[in-house]
Amino acid sequence: MRNPRASWRALLVQAVLVLALATLAYLAAANAAQKLARQGIVAGFGFLDRAAGFDIGQSLIPYAAATATYRDAFLVGLLNTLLVSGLAIVLSTVLGFAIGIARRSGNLLARAFAAAYVEGFRNLPLLLQLLVWYVAVRVALPPSSDPAQWGAGAYLSQRGLFLPRPEFSGFAALVPLAVVAGIGATGLLIRASRRAVALGQKPVPVLWPGALLVLGLPALTAAALALAGDPVPVAWPARGPYDIEGGLALRPEFAALLIGLSTYSAAFIAEIVRSGLDSVASGQREAAAALSLSRGQVLRLVVLPQAMRVIVPPLTSQYLNTTKNSSLAVLIGYPDLVHVFMGTVLNQTNQAVEVVALTMAVYLTLSLATALVMNRYNARAAGTRR
Amino acid sequence: MRSETEGYVRKTLIPPAPPPRRLGGPLAWARTNLFANWADGVVTVAILAALAWLVPLALRFLVLDAVWTGTSGEACRPEVVGRPVGACWAFIGEKINYLAYGSYPAAERWRPNLFFALLAFGAAWMLWLGAPKRAWGAAYLFLVFPVLAYALLAGMPALGLAAVATGLWGGLLVTVVVSMVGIVASLPLGILLALGRRSDWPVVRYACIGFIEFWRGVPLITVLFMANVMLPLFLPGDVTVDRLVRPLVGIALFASAYMAEVVRGGLQAIPPGQMQAALALGLTKTQALRAVVLPQALKIVVPGIVNTLIGLFKDTTLVSIVGIADFIRVLEAARADPRWSAPAVPATAYAFAALFYFGVCFSMARYAGFIERRLAAGEAR
């Protein structure tokens, strides 16, 4: 039974809290509105349609300073953030699993090396690591006056790696669609394989047919388009008077950020993997060894599948951290979302409230989406616990 | 009698197997630990080769070829010295005061020194588990010390301490100040938020969840940018915020959200019976929290708190991006000094920074591990 006096007090305290928060928000908004009006800034997202007029070093979509709007700049930044975080997530997962497993290997040197790696990378600020990688990458590359060249259309210099860029417009858009179709078909294969295992039949092979579908379908589509007399247009990089022009440019900033982020996150993933491996009861390992499975088989068939249940939740939050950490790009000048939008666009337009809100909304959306997926996974994992 | 097993029961003895060749000695040890199979052998050889290349390289750079004395970059140029040059420690030696205090007036440097000493005293009081009156230590570190530190560093003309503008602070001093403010603000705020998140009152609960998840969902660098441009906007009239205070506010809010999640983990680990027993003894809910639940919860989250502090200490480097002269920023400024332009200077600067941050973070991590093992030993009894 609830105490009526207590519930009155609860209501009162909460009402006061709501009122206080609302007053605070109102005062802040009123002050901001007044100051913005004094600076002659029009509130709202109308500024996104204005011409940007600045260039961006690396862009996945065609972007020209002369015609682009702030909306284009936002998209370029967002795509660059997603590109570098996506690649860093893949690389750091591979490296992190290798090092995490090495920490529990039978080889003494491998264990010691993995421990040193984890302690070294975890205990240094990412910002410092990025500075070091940036200097190291630039020292290692050939000077821009004398770039290295492979074949007709790939150059490498201190200004970056230049590759031919296919233009997927018109009929050529079928190629990316084929990639999506390949991924979908692989998903169906995985389901069929799971069903076969559940029914006690031999699993359907997934790895090679899947790789063939994801890579082969778009290649086939591109070949078919070429045979039909409408090949995918390609923008080739070429040596200009000062620099290499055209094509797809991957800058040293990108390389430094990618290496730095991947190696840093890998240290954290290694710790997650290690705690996952430790969570599997040693009886499992011993029973599998008694059934004469080799060390690799024990790991692959018995320990890792059980460890994954412990590994996946912290792993996803580490992936989110990687995405958020990619915002350190601003330090070495890689044009990610924060650099392009919170840096250049904010300085040019002074639309502080809108720019900050939009940038934070992007990261919050990513976080919320991940949290939702994670909750569903946890519910499923809890349901299948044996 | 025929049994069903007869078909596969062995009828003759297996000849005895020879004894294992070696079970002890260094060779057998190397076989099991380094060359258990061919893949292990390849890994071992690869790591040994990497060490054979890396260790002499690092040793030569850091010690053997290093330049220890000199007054300008000339001393660290290989063509001037006439031998290969490693780290230019002479550069660090000359800039050490700048790295420690930034542009803090030379005559007043005893004040940051006293600040560091007071901080070390408070930290030792809190971290040494056998210290007397640790509750007083907490009161000192969280209430007395911040006031003292402010008076000491910013100055207090009434006491005869000349005012020193925060724009002059720099280097290690700023890094420590930013971390300290983060810790001192985030621990109490984090505890309040964690309690609020478990409150029965929906408004309090959702306000706390919203606050925590917001700060945890965005990168720190966007928080710092926001504090830089939006804090002045939100405040009334002509109130200006010190350039150093803006990122401090951002860091404090950001860190308290992470601290709240650590403390919440501790609160969840305390069995509900503790609270129920305390209430049954006639304690009010506040008393039960303060005297029964929180002390137990905070004790088990000490390792988590220290790990959050390590993250916070590493994250303070981000204030250099919004123009605060922290350790990294003064280091970058120092290495751009034309008088000290030498090829080895950037690498020296980064090596020094790496040694500094690694020393601090690694020892904190060791401390957290020590506490964790102690707690585990207590649980096992």
Q: What is the pLDDT of residues A258-274, one digit of tens each?
A: 999 999 999 999 999 99
Q: Which amino acid does the sequence have at B223? A: V
Q: Is A255 exposed, middle or buried (0-12, 13-18, 19+ CB in 10 A)?
A: buried
**Rounded to an integer, what distance in angstroms lies between the CA atom of residue B138 and that of residue B119?**
12
pLDDT, tens only, B119-137: 999 888 888 877 788 888 8
Residue A162: enclosing H or E segment and its boundaries?
Answer: strand A160-163
Q: Which amino acid does the sequence have at B374? A: R
Please tell me which of the candidates A32, A107, A352 has its beta carbon nearest to residue B40.
A107
Closest listed residue to residue B194, CA positions, set B215, B208, B214: B208
Please tell me which of the candidates B221, B235, B354 has its beta carbon nearest to residue A328.
B221
Provide the pLDDT for residue B328.
92
Q: Give the DSSP letter string of A65-82.
A: TTT-BHHHHHHHHHHHHH
Q: Report whether A340 contacts A57 (CB < 8 A).
A: no
Percentage of chain B lying above the pLDDT 90 cut: 38
Q: What's the token pair of residue B252?
A: 């404090």
**Rounded to an integer, what distance in angstroms lies between the CA atom of residue A72 and that of residue A336?**
13
**Rounded to an integer, what distance in angstroms lies between the CA atom of residue B12 and that of residue A25?**
90
**Rounded to an integer, what distance in angstroms lies between the CA atom of residue B254 and that of residue B252?**
6
**Rounded to an integer, what distance in angstroms lies between the CA atom of residue A333 and that of residue B218?**
20
Residue A274: other Cβ atoms inside 10 A: 22
Mutate to test the interface with B, among A26, A85, A107, A365 (most CBs of B within 10 A): A107
Please tell me which of the candidates B203, B234, B357 has its beta carbon nearest to residue A17.
B203
Q: How far is CA A361 from CA A367, B217, B218, B219, in A?
A: 10, 9, 8, 11
**Rounded to an integer, what distance in angstroms lies between the CA atom of residue B144 and that of residue B290?**
22
Does the beta-carbon distance from A128 to B204 stay under 8 Å? no
Question: Range with the lowest mean pLDDT among A192-201, A244-253, B146-155, B311-320?
Answer: A244-253
pLDDT, tens only, B9-24: 778 888 888 877 767 7
Contacts by residues B65-69 (CB-CB < 8 Å, ≥ 24 positions apart): B67/B344, B68/B93, B69/B93
Q: Give the DSSP letter string of B79-98.
A: HHHTS----BHHHHHHHHHH
| Beta pairing partners, A234 | A166
Please tell me which of the candidates B34, B221, B321 has its beta carbon nearest to residue A109.
B34
Residue A265: other Cβ atoms inside 10 A: 25
Please name each of the domains of chain A with its CATH number: 39-167+233-385 (1.10.3720.10)
Q: Which residues of B347-363 are buried (b: 16+ CB within 10 A; e: fewer)?
A: bbbbbbbbebbbebbbe
**Rounded to an integer, what distance in angstroms lies between the CA atom of residue A335 and that of residue A341?**
9
**Rounded to an integer, what distance in angstroms lies between the CA atom of residue A83 and that of residue A264?**
17
Q: Coil, helix or strand for B342?
A: coil
Chain B nearest-CA residue for A22: B207
| Beta pairing partners, B88 | B67
Percentage of chain A lying above the pLDDT 70 cut: 97
Does the beta-carbon distance from B350 to A131 stay under 8 Å? yes
Closest listed residue to residue A371, CA positions, set A316, A325, A324, A331: A316
Q: Would you call B276 an interface residue with chain A, using a CB distance cutoff of 8 Å?
A: no
Q: Report whether A40 contacts A316 (CB < 8 A).
A: no
**Rounded to an integer, what distance in angstroms lies between the CA atom of residue A73 and that of residue A52?**
7
pLDDT, tens only, A303-338: 998 998 889 888 988 999 999 999 998 888 889 899
Residue B271: other Cβ atoms inside 10 A: 11
* Residue listed under structure tokens 């000290």: B340
Tally the residues of chain A. 386
Closest listed residue to residue B218, CA positions, set B189, B246, B258: B258
Q: Report whether A191 contacts A203 (CB < 8 A).
A: no
Q: Would you call A200 an interface residue with chain B, using a CB distance cutoff of 8 Å?
A: no
Q: Residue A37 — φ and ψ, nearest 5°?
A: -60, -40
pLDDT, tens only, B30-89: 887 888 788 888 989 999 999 999 999 999 988 888 888 888 888 888 888 888 888 889
**DSSP at A170:** G
pLDDT at A241 over 80: no
* Strands (DSSP E) found in A9-159: 148-150, 154-157
Closest listed residue to residue A160, CA positions, set A82, A75, A89, A256: A256
ipTM of the complex: 0.86
> Mean pLDDT for chain B?
87
Does the beta-carbon distance from B362 to A123 stay under 8 Å? yes
**Rounded to an integer, what distance in angstroms lies between the CA atom of residue B67 and that of residue B196?**
56
Q: Coil, helix or strand for A150?
A: strand
Asked whether the CA dihedral A352, A353, A355, A357 is positive or negative, the reply is: positive
**Rounded to an integer, what distance in angstroms lies between the CA atom of residue B184 and that of residue B146?**
8
Question: What's this model's pTM, rounded to 2 decimal places?
Answer: 0.86
Does the beta-carbon distance from A330 to B221 stay under 8 Å? yes
Confidence of residue B381 (pLDDT cuts 50, 70, 90): low
Q: Residue B285 — φ and ψ, nearest 5°?
A: -65, -40
